[in-house]
Structure 1
């Protein structure tokens, strides 16, 4: 009987290193695919959130025969300015998202908002029904983050924001007067001065400028969307500020006050003297710029001010914010997202579309619709191409391109 070979067999060191190298290469090839799959899942989840908001808007309209008001709420007897921050009323500062809370499975939050709420020994002892202005951190509903209003791709969290939102109301293709409330206008006599600092218009000015599905402080309904629900954007996605000087989400403090805040050129034309984006990193302000860390994009889901919960179809998606140094000014606020190449929008019929950054947007330097001196005549079709036409509710534009 031949002797048994007692020599053990196994991998040599060279063979083991080759196997490890092959595994490393395979993992390296697989990781991008895994990351892409994760982002695809997050993007789908974001789209589903928007679909739920679309259902909420339609259910709200079925219940009340109107859309939720952007810029509704309460005001004190002393008629504070709508940008004043107070505890006794909300100064018509509530966004459409407040009215939608019962329709997105947030009935408990709505009951806290719609009734007087105990302040737990603080001042005031009792918060008023419909809450104070949306900047009050001590008012728990405003500080509550609602999962239905957050895109999973957006990592923003925590202070100095209150409850963040990644979805905002579409106010059309003009940001002129966008921080004002129509409710303040309708309380004055016909032909009286429109209460906008430094201008002399009337309530008709607001009618001319507010061309979107929602009008600040004025109730609209599906019947007002004459261009067709399937052709009109009613909400858009927005990116919340991370404190990194992202030009889409933050406001430089060295921008001057005055007329340029009403025009989308203020980020494009250096003659206006506004802060320009960093040429090396066009999505960011220069390192030397000082931004206001308290007024970040999407920082207050309940606040109707443009920087927090509005989008406009003027500049295409993911362009820089165009406004002044604080949150109580008009702002050309394009939609934006953490998704690659574009963002989601919600159409009036409930459909969710992904709009690319390259959508045809007409003449970006055109003046916005208004009745003030130097602005185009009212009633014209949007000057911002397909993008602008999608944001207007009743301008009778014909959209021939696929978007």
Structure 2
């Protein structure tokens, strides 16, 4: 039987098989690319919501820590006279107190009993000395608290003890000058700009 006859009656032509396999492979690659394109925005949205949830939980935990400090010492953890409208940050000055740093046992410390009012996980290192999502603790047991976007949390407290705090200037959701709160905690969100209120994280 001639060779070309055997090829048509026996095994498939190898060139045709190779071309068909390559075509299938290209189709599969195209489908994977389309699916990846569809899934990426969804995955990004899930991650963004997870970061916001983590930041919100941390903000409320920080508020609770400040409230616990007030219950213990009958004052707020600030040094000297401060204006109520002054925005404090979750930097060393505040967090050393709430973490119960060794330095707080020294003269002038605001937490001489060294009670740990706040606890959390270790922050992740970023660029330019910044961190994200947790506590950057130092050798004394104090440190700084960071949101998921490499920034501090911001705080206002009822420093004149009249059961209200002045509304932050950027909060345009209300016309009231005051909020019926003792402690406000917020993060400026992914944008890093408080004026972009859509991504701000707040406890009120």
TM-score (norm 2): 0.54
Is 2:198 aligned against 1:236? no
Cα distance change of structure 1 residues 114 and 239 upon mapping to structure 2, 3 Å threshold: farther
Residues 20-169 of structure 1 mapped to structure 2, 5 A cutoff = 20-69=29-78, 72-73=79-80, 95=88, 97=90, 98-103=93-98, 106-107=99-100, 110-112=101-103, 114-115=105-106, 147-148=134-135, 149-152=145-148, 154=149, 156=150, 165-169=151-155
Structure number, greater radius of gyration:
2
Q: Structure 1: 5+ residue runs without aligned partners?
A: 75-81, 83-92, 117-127, 131-142, 157-164, 171-212, 249-316, 320-335, 348-403
Cα distance change of structure 1 residues 240 and 66 upon mapping to structure 2, 3 Å threshold: farther
Give the structure with the larger strand fraction: 2
Native 8 Å contact 1:57 1:67 kept in 2 = yes
Cα distance change of structure 1 residues 48 and 231 upon mapping to structure 2, 3 Å threshold: same
Q: Partner residue of 1:342?
A: 199
Is 2:163 aligned against 1:225? yes
Q: Partner residue of 1:274?
A: none
Cα distance change of structure 1 residues 17 and 240 upon mapping to structure 2, 3 Å threshold: closer
Residues 224-303 of structure 1 mapped to structure 2, 5 A cutoff = 224-225=162-163, 231-232=180-181, 234-238=184-188, 248=193
TM-score (norm 1): 0.30
Native 8 Å contact 1:68 1:100 kept in 2 = no
CA RMSD, Structure 1 to Structure 2 (Å) = 4.2
State how far apart, in whole Å, the 2-side matches of 1:111 and 1:24 are: 55
Q: Structure 2: 5+ residue runs without aligned partners?
A: 1-5, 111-128, 136-144, 166-178
Residues 363-374 of structure 1 mapped to structure 2, 5 A cutoff = none
Give the structure with the larger helix fraction: 2
Cα distance change of structure 1 residues 33 and 51 upon mapping to structure 2, 3 Å threshold: same
State how far apart, in whole Å, the 2-side matches of 1:16 and 1:144 are: 45
Native 8 Å contact 2:56 2:201 kept in 1 = yes
SS at match of 1:12: helix
Q: Partner residue of 1:381?
A: none
